[in-house]
Structure 1
Amino acid sequence: MPNLYSPCRTGCLALLLLLALSGAALGQTQAAPDTASYNKTKTLLWRISGAGLPGPSYVFGTMHVLCPDDAIVPPEMEAAFLSSGQLVLELDLDDPAMGKQFRRAAQLPWPNSLRRLMKPRDFKVVKKFFRQQLHQSILPYVLVKPALTEALVYSAALPCTPVSYEGKFLELAKAQQKEVLGLETIEQQLVSMQQVPYRKQAADLVEAIRTYDSIPQLMQHLVATYRGRDVDELYRLSVDPKYGSENDEPAELQARNQDWIPKMSTWMKSKPTFFAVGAAHLGGSTGVLQLLRQQGYRIEPVLLPTTSAKSAE
């Protein structure tokens, strides 16, 4: 896997992959879909103003891993970023301690190992997949929690070496000497994964590999939906067990969104801020955009040019 940005390097990319793609490991059940439209304009970038703010802030909805053609920073977005005084992500990926924190959170507790959590024939299936599809050994992952390893299976289905908007924003923040902050800790991000038994995670990893032929089509649909920029539809997709997300049902997504609003308000009142969070957090009746409206903020869409469709071909 590539080193997208320091200090997180491969570990944080694996985490972003988990957040975006590994819903199968989180044991979701079907929820009644919310078909209402709360954000009629189709865009991923929104301006936040009013309520006594010193200047406009912005929130952008990311898909945590994409092909390069779908992770473009157009002039409109770069201008919004330039006008902001700080960058806020779901995690402070600029924190020098992030790599160590991720490794600690990702490691299986003794005496567990991937080999011990599955039957020998299943371990052979995983080992073969890593060798043939990922072109690497399974050995570095035998002590990693299987849900994180499963995320790499999904990454192999992308027709490219994946990149992230988070990585691009970190580069911009560094170039413009902006402070980087995080809405949550790694432990908070991984709370759903931690609730799933390790043997269930291992079984889901094997199942993902055995059904790998269906994953590219699933990935294409995810990316196509993201490219459509309908944040309410992205929310509905994120709580659909067919596709999964980092969230254990809408209740957890709602709780996380509500927890973010006071933090966002504090940062926005101190200086204009550019927020970049998973697009699924923006839409829906309890999404970040609607919650900010309820706090008296004015939420306006910022239209962006269309991106290339090459990566979905």
Structure 2
Amino acid sequence: MCLTSPLTPAFSYPSAPVPESAERVAPHLPFYIARKGPMTLYLLGTLHVGNASDYPRPERFRPAIRAALKASPALAFELSPDDLILSQDDVQRYGMCAYPCLRRLAPAALWRRLAQRLRDHPAEFAEIKKARPWLAAMLLDTLTALAAGLQTEYGTEAQLENIYTAGRILGLETVDEQILAFARLTSAEQLEMLRQSLMQTPERSAADIRELHLLWRAGDADALAMWQTRTTEKLAHARRIAEAVDEKTLFQRNRRFAARLLLMAEPEAPLFAAIGALHLGGSRGVLALLRQHGFDIQPG
């Protein structure tokens, strides 16, 4: 499953209704404080989909997170809001064909599996037919998130942007850097992404997303990294190729995020960074990389 990018899908859906029983207490979420001498980084693991109960009003986030936002003169996302808007043109340019090309790019057996999966979603199938395999995988994962009861409009970044008033909002990578991490995958790697998205029944895939959502709400970055590892091992069609996909779309970007955070960190000027939750934990995650550079990291 590819849940490591906030790139907006090429098609949209109606909003999910807000449940009457929505919780009134903000969930914990993976939130950490990294300190090195006079430098402080606040790190929040985000989820690019969610539901209304993840951000109960009026507070939306628990007090420690709100206090860190207020204290930070800069907020860093994977992509800045302006770049995220502009990214749609590049998603179309790098991820879509002018004609239904996916049938030509995918093996016949994989194409038949895709057609069977989307038999009840003709509009989405018509759009995915024109997608290259990497984007088709992302679009399928969006459908899975919807089936799990989650919506892109409740992604963490949008909720943070709605309440952040302390200063500037920055990006940790450019549009080209993020999109090309996927668009430059080899044909075999892109097809591995698509196979993973189709490996399980829709019900089993939705159950995996719900498990991820619960782990994110609980707030343990290492547990989320373990979920990612287990999921890759379970869904991998070709282990070596699957590991190459994770290296290029997850671990290389982790190193980029950590390097950019080190460049942005300033003495006596805390930086709040909101990064996809699957990028934070584990031995190759952003938290581990910052520890290697001498940061002391504690749960927030």
TM-score for both structures, normalised by structure 1: 0.68
Among 16, 28, 32, the alignment partner of 1:46 is 32
Instruction: Tell me which moved more, 147-156 or 119-128.
Output: 119-128
Distance 1:160 1:77, change over 3 A: same
Change over 3 Å in CA distance of 1:92–1:103 after alignment to 2: farther
What percentage of aligned pairs have identical amino acids? 24
What is the DSSP-based 3-state SS (H/G/I as helix, E as strand, rest coil) of the residue aligned with 1:289?
helix
> Whole-Å Cα distance in 2 between the matches of residues 58 and 160 of structure 1?
26
2:96 to 89, 101, 107: 107
Q: Which runs of structure 2 are paired with 1:31-70 in the superposition (5 Å)?
A: 44-53=30-39, 56-70=40-54
Q: For residue 82 of structure 1, what is the aligned residue in structure 2?
A: 70
Q: Distance in 1 between matches of 2:41 and 2:114?
A: 48
State how many pairs are aligned. 257
Distance 1:213 1:224 in 2: 17
Mapped contact 2:47–2:216 kept (Cα < 8 A): yes
| Structure 1 stretch displaced more, 277-286 or 66-75 | 66-75
Structure 1 gap ranges (5+): 1-10, 18-41, 303-313
Q: Which residue of 1 aligns with 2:163?
A: 172
8 Å CA contact retained: 1:86, 1:180: yes
- Rounded to whole Å, the distance in 2 between the matches of 1:247 and 1:224 is 28
Matched residues in 1 for 2:255 and 2:196: separation? 31
1:8-42 CA-partner distances (Å, limit 9, x unpaired): xxx93328x9xxxxxxxxxxxxxxxxxxxxxxxx9
Contact 1:48 1:57 in 2 (8 A): yes
8 A Cα contact 1:114 1:143, kept in partner: yes
Q: TM-score, normalized by length of structure 2?
A: 0.70
SS in 1 for 2:173: coil
- Structure 2 residue corresponding to 1:73, chosen from 61, 66, 72: 61
Cα gap change, 1:64/1:243 in structure 2, threshold over 3 Å: closer, same or farther?
farther
Checking the alignment, whether the CA contact within 8 Å between 1:45 and 1:58 is kept in structure 2 is yes
**Could you say what secondary structure the match of 2:120 adopts?**
helix
CA distance in 2, matches of 1:296, 1:121: 51
**Which secondary structure state, in structure 2, belongs to the residue aligned with residue 94 of structure 1?**
helix
Matched, 1:216 2:224: no
Structure 1 vs Structure 2 CA RMSD: 3.5
Question: Counterparts in 2 of 1:246-261, with a 5 A limit?
Answer: 248-249=245-246, 253-261=250-258
State the partner residue of 1:283.
Answer: 281
Query: Cα offset for 1:104?
Result: 2.0
Distance 1:144 1:269, change over 3 A: same
- Is this contact kept in 2: 1:114–1:142, CA < 8 A? yes
Mapped partners of 2:279, 2:124: distance in 1 = 35
Aligned residues of 1:261 and 1:292 also touching (Cα < 8 A): yes
Once the two structures are superposed, the pairs formed by residues 186-201 of structure 1 within 5 Å of their partners are 186-190=175-179, 191-192=181-182, 194-197=184-187, 200=191
1:227 aligns with 2:217: yes
Of 280, 295, 300 in structure 2, the residue corresponding to residue 297 of structure 1 is 295
Report the CA distance between 1:88 and its aligned residue: 0.8
